[in-house]
Amino acid sequence: MKAIRSRADLAINGAPPAFAEPVHVGRPNIGNREVFLRHVDRILDNERLTNNGPMVQEFERRIAQHLSVKHCVAMCNGTIALEIAIRALGLEGEVIVPSWTFVATAHALYWQGITPVFADIDPVTHNLDPDAVRRMVTPRTTGIIGVHLWGRAAQVDELQAIADEHGLKLMFDAAHAFGSTYRDQSIGRFGQCEVFSFHATKAFNTMEGGAVTTDNDELAETMRLMRNFGFKGYDNVIHPGTNGKMIEVCAAMGLANLDGFDDIVAINRRNHAAYKQALAGILGIRLLDYDSTERNSYHYVVIEVDKTFPVSRDAIVAALHAENILARKYFWPGCHKMKPYRDLFPHAELMLPVTDKIAERVIVLPSGLQMPNEVPLMIHGVIRALCPGAKS
Ligand code: T4K
């Protein structure tokens, strides 16, 4: 380990990279292979591959039970799940969202002719700042989409109060929040509905997949129709719809992974603790911590590089990439600076000072089942070698 701690021979200076194979953020967690393959055998034997088959029904039942919510409507991915939820709630005009999120949150609105209006975030939690949300409400606003970024719950009660005050619909993008809680209750039943992504890169994955969860019977029924072209039985279309169905193999992956989810969280927690220990001594590098009174999958290991730190965030990312540690700048530069939204709101940054500041500071580091144990110390070594004078 000593060689790692004093990694002065950085790959950016011509030395070989620390890892022969790339170490990714988002390497899939793959649970019990035998269980998954047994499920796949059953699917092939049944010759039922999609269209609300038994595996999807079992998956929905298990997820709803796991999250203590009445309905889980499984979908082909999180983005389509967002689009269907937005449409089922009847959102239109303007909807307030954070810019500091994966672009799918904004796209799911804009794709349907709704204007995403970006509100600023809290500098500590990276989640929507309720005061900023209040400032963005106009007569055209119909809803708010809170995002539980990094699996940390948004300020649910405060956002609900704003929604109630202005007669707005509230839903959540819970793509990062499978296994998280808010005030000790599972994320999944707040607002009118919550939307999960089960993409390969998520803590819990179905390869591709997503779901909307809700306690509202009517809303769940509408979304079930919408995800299957509006069919109510053979030859009977009673609602406009699309194809948002989850396929059986994806549900099989979900069932196999659900059994092992607690083990994944335990490994993520161990990885997070190792990062905390490795990076603790470097002044100007802050590891985002999770609230110990709530549950979280600890899937995202997020650091912030302070403006006063002697080397830039981008220089650190470049040095890590040279070592084959493919750290990410999620969600730089913020949706408001991506072309479609920059064209829409050329001066959005005036309302988003915290988003802009955070976007220049964040690095997301590898975690998950596949992460080699040496990675946290190696990262410590790379930062130290880049910047030997950094204060402890
Ligand atoms: N809302 C939020 C807040 C979200 O974060 C997301 C998705 C959504 C909504 C939409 O949900 P989905 O429609 O995706 O279900 C990735 C994911 O594609 C995306 O699902 C995710 N958020 C986002 C945060 O990250 P990219 O473009 O960064 O992925 P990519 O292809 O660069 O993958 C990351 C790394 O993971 C790769 O470098 C290699 C590794 N990887 C990836 C895949 C897919 C693997 O090793 N194996 C794999 O199969 O967007």
What confidence score (pLDDT) does residue 5 get? 43
pLDDT in tens, 326-375: 999 999 999 999 999 999 999 999 999 999 999 999 999 999 988 999 99
> How far apart are the C-alpha atoms of 10 and 21, rounded to whole Å?
16
What confidence score (pLDDT) does residue 227 get? 98
Query: Which atom in ligand 1 lies closest to the alpha carbon of residue 197?
Result: 15
pLDDT in tens, 139-167: 999 999 999 999 999 999 999 999 999 99
Same-domain status, 281 and 179:
no
What are the CA-CA distances from residue 382 to residues 82, 287, 327 (Å)? 39, 16, 13
In this structure, is residue 390 part of a structural domain?
no
> How far apart are the C-alpha atoms of 210 and 212, rounded to whole Å?
7
Task: Give yes or no for residue 26 CB within 6 A of ligand 1.
Answer: yes
pLDDT in tens, 248-264: 999 999 999 999 999 99
20: which residues sit within 8 A by CB, 6+ positions away? 324
Same-domain status, 247 and 266:
no
- Whether residue 100 is predicted with pLDDT greater than 50 in this model: the reply is yes
Ligand 1 centroid to residue 199 C-alpha, Å:
6
Task: Give yes or no for residue 172 CB within 6 A of ligand 1.
Answer: no
SS3 215: coil
Task: Give yes or no for residue 75 CB within 6 A of ligand 1.
Answer: no
Ligand 1 centroid to residue 198 C-alpha, Å:
10
**What is the CA 373 to chain-centroid distance, rounded?**
24
- Whether residue 221 is predicted with pLDDT greater than 90 in this model: the reply is yes
Task: Give yes or no for residue 210 CB within 6 A of ligand 1.
Answer: yes
In this structure, is residue 171 part of a structural domain?
yes
Q: Name the residue of 201, 253, 300, 320 to mutate for ligand 1: max ligand atoms within 8 A of Cβ.
A: 201
CB 39 within 8 A of CB 210: no
pLDDT in tens, 303-325: 999 998 999 999 999 999 999 99
In this structure, is residue 337 part of a structural domain?
yes
Same-domain status, 267 and 304:
yes
CB 70 within 8 A of CB 215: yes
What confidence score (pLDDT) does residue 8 get? 67
Domain termination site, one of 209, 239, 259: 259
Worst-scoring range by mean pLDDT, 194-198, 324-328, 388-392? 388-392
In this structure, is residue 85 part of a structural domain?
yes
In this structure, is residue 368 part of a structural domain?
yes
Write out the H or E segment, with its range, that includes residue 210: strand 210-214
Same-domain status, 172 and 254:
yes
φ/ψ region of 209 (left if φ > 0, alpha if ψ in -120 to 50, else beta) reads left
Nearest CA to ligand 1 atom 11: 78
What confidence score (pLDDT) does residue 281 get? 84
Q: How confident is the model at residue 69 (pLDDT cuts 50, 70, 90)?
A: very high
Q: Name the residue of 77, 176, 199 to mutate for ligand 1: max ligand atoms within 8 A of Cβ.
A: 199
Sheet hosting strand 362-365, strand order edge to edge: 285-287, 301-305, 362-365
**Residue in the structure block whose two tokens are 């609300």:** 52
Same-domain status, 277 and 251:
no
Same-domain status, 278 and 342:
yes
Q: What does the DSSP assignment read for 168-201? A: -EEEEE-TT-TT-EETTEETTSSSSEEEEE--TT
In this structure, is residue 392 part of a structural domain?
no
- Core vs surface per residue 227-263: b (16+ CB within 10 A) or e: bbebbeeeeeeebebeebbbbbbbbbbbbbbbebbee
Same-domain status, 92 and 186:
yes
pLDDT in tens, 1-45: 334 445 668 888 888 899 999 999 999 999 999 999 999 999 999
Same-domain status, 48 and 195:
yes
Nearest CA to ligand 1 atom 41: 27
Same-domain status, 277 and 233:
no
Task: Give yes or no for residue 24 CB within 6 A of ligand 1.
Answer: yes
Q: Would you state the structure tokens that stand for residue 208, as one six-digit string?
A: 């591709």
Worst-scoring range by mean pLDDT, 13-22, 185-194, 209-218? 13-22
What confidence score (pLDDT) does residue 228 get? 98
Q: What is the CATH number of the domain that holds 292?
A: 3.90.1150.10
Same-domain status, 182 and 59:
yes
In this structure, is residue 179 part of a structural domain?
yes
Same-domain status, 153 and 238:
yes
Ligand 1 centroid to residue 110 C-alpha, Å:
20
Looking at every residue in the chain, the average pLDDT score rounds to: 95
Containing structural domain, residue 327: 7-22+261-385
Q: Tell me how many domains the chain contains.
A: 2
In this structure, is residue 48 part of a structural domain?
yes
What confidence score (pLDDT) does residue 10 get? 85
What confidence score (pLDDT) does residue 360 get? 97
What confidence score (pLDDT) does residue 1 get? 38
What proportion of the chain, given as a percentage, has pLDDT over 70? 97
Same-domain status, 183 and 300:
no
Q: Which of 26-30, 238-242, 277-281 has the highest mean pLDDT?
A: 238-242
Domain termination site, one of 210, 238, 259: 259
Domain termination site, one of 229, 259, 289: 259
Cβ atoms < 10 Å from Cβ of 333 = 15
CB 112 within 8 A of CB 86: yes
Average pLDDT estimate for 182-199: 98
Q: What is the CATH number of the domain that holds 51?
A: 3.40.640.10
> Which among 129, 76, 109 has a CA at the least distance from the CA of 250?
76
Strand partners, 185: 182
